């Protein structure tokens, strides 16, 4: 669990309905639905620090984005 969100939080942060989130999570296989729905979910997760990885021989995946270190002023 990378961000620890409930279905309610995901729905709220992505701007889609809770029933849509529940339907997508209950589905087996590839997600079906509107492209805009998937993009809203992806955008919300990216804002939360999730980085989507392209397939690199081991398959696509996700990880938490590294936080940028703030430079200390001397």
Q: Domain residue spans in the chain? A: 7-64
By C-alpha distance, which of 63, 12, 15 is closest to 39? Answer: 15
Superfamily of domain 7-64: lambda repressor-like DNA-binding domains (1.10.260.40)
C-alpha 66/C-alpha 74 separation (Å) is: 24
For 2, the 3-state DSSP assignment is coil
Structure tokens at 52: 């989507």
Per-residue pLDDT of the chain (74 residues), as tens digits, is 668 899 999 999 999 999 999 999 898 888 777 889 989 998 999 999 888 877 766 666 666 667 665 555 55
Helix (H, G, I), strand (E, B) or coil at 14: helix
Check if the beta carbon of residue 43 is closer than 8 Å to that of residue 13. Answer: no
Can you give the pTM of this predicted structure? 0.71
CB 21 within 8 A of CB 10: yes
């Amino acid at each position: 669990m990378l961000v620890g969100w409930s279905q309610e939080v995901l729905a709220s942060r992505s701007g889609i309905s809770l029933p849509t989130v529940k339907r997508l999570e209950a589905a087996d296989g590839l997600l079906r639905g509107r492209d805009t729905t998937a993009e809203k979910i992806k955008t919300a997760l990216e804002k939360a620090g999730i980085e989507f990885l392209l397939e690199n021989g081991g398959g696509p995946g996700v990880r938490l984005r590294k936080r940028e270190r703030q430079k200390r002023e001397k």
